[in-house]
Structure 1
């Protein structure tokens, strides 16, 4: 699995089933990334860490030519079921050289994948390499304040490994992340040849209020500390 510590092969189907309708994925991350991507018709888009393919499917519906990869062979299998046998989907690890030529894509989306990696240098370098000059990397990561919220005794300014227990479709599992402070993220983006165009802390989708009334009762603004979203331009 390279530098991705969590082995999604062991619970891929449960994770995919849960996230089809979950607040964090279906009504927060997915619409936020699509909103930041804007009009993708005719653009070549790489879904880095595509999982079971919901984002790739949504981008394709909007007219993008989508390719995707994931370190989990089981996730790629699920994505192929969704997108069809001819979809350009591959098993690849973001911690290793990617199987795409230089400048192959206009956009890369990396939704909820970078926070599994301790070192961003090589992964960001690869994502920059496969982007055309002026192309965009749209990334979503754990909000850096989330670690401090859950672990108030922790050092916000350190790069720290931490784990959290979850239940996906009735199956219990543990996800392991790497926390890094905001300045470490933006420094890494700059060092890899990106310019930060947008930093976003978006609200959830409007329809989520009716679907998850209890969970969202304490968030009158519609925004909460979950993930942090970036649009980065390849210099």
Structure 2
């Protein structure tokens, strides 16, 4: 099943969780054209963003820059940041020296003025954080009134799928082992139930406009026929997507 990790927490205790400075290059190589990233998450974000021509967009947690590149190609004026210097360097190689890229941590103050952006995209970033209060406040701060925050996070059901005995209603950390381009890595996430997500968005000054559980891009059906054969509808549970409006 595309959504599930290879194994549960504790399998590779020697590895530092979420250490993208160490495994970032392997992660980028593995996910560049993967089902979950290239044919599911990025197309879903772009569909939710719609026409971005001329809009100022911040790619929060830009990784190696594929979403930044797609938004820029669609006419957006894009800036991006990531906490990993490795990922920012990979983005710079992809996007060029003139791209507005910075090393910054979503857990702290962001290096942008108030109301700088029309849209912020935060794709597969927030689920690494225990407390969303300060990060959401910063993302709201850099958005103009009426601007949009477009979010993709782990679907809250995934925790129960990985560990049926887990408490769905508890905000709790869990980890999984992955292999990216032949390199072992551990990703550590914070599970929170759906109501905790929407409550956090509301408290930060956002109105939830869209909650989406999208299908993958149409090309995925042929390219990943074996993986998708078990899903007759073409959809599977993996990430949950939101469009939030700054009020």
Look up the match of 1:98: 110
Aligned-partner Cα distance in 2 for 1:129–1:219: 40
Aligned-partner Cα distance in 2 for 1:96–1:215: 39
Choose which of 164, 167, 175 in structure 2 pairs with 1:152.
164
Matched, 1:167 2:167: no
Gaps of 5+ in 1: none
1:173-225 CA-to-partner distances (Å, cap 9, x unmatched) read 11000000000000000000000000000001111111111111111111110
Aligned-partner Cα distance in 2 for 1:147–1:32: 22
Look up the match of 1:194: 206
Aligned-partner Cα distance in 2 for 1:222–1:96: 39
Matched, 1:53 2:65: yes
Matched, 1:140 2:148: no
Choose which of 116, 132, 148 in structure 2 pairs with 1:120.
132
Matched, 1:203 2:215: yes
Aligned-partner Cα distance in 1 for 2:72–2:31: 19
Look up the match of 1:83: 95
Aligned partner of residue 59 in structure 1, secondary structure: helix
Aligned residues: 231
Look up the match of 1:213: 225
Look up the match of 1:222: 234
Aligned-partner Cα distance in 2 for 1:171–1:214: 24
TM-score by length of 1: 0.97
Matched, 1:129 2:141: yes
Matched, 1:71 2:83: yes
Matched, 1:18 2:30: yes
TM-score by length of 2: 0.93
Aligned-partner Cα distance in 1 for 2:232–2:121: 29
Offset, 1:41? 0.1
Aligned partner of residue 222 in structure 1, secondary structure: coil
Gaps of 5+ in 2: 1-16
In the TM superposition, structure 1's runs of 4+ consecutive aligned residues that sit over 6 Å from their partners are: none
Aligned partner of residue 26 in structure 1, secondary structure: helix
Offset, 1:170? 1.0
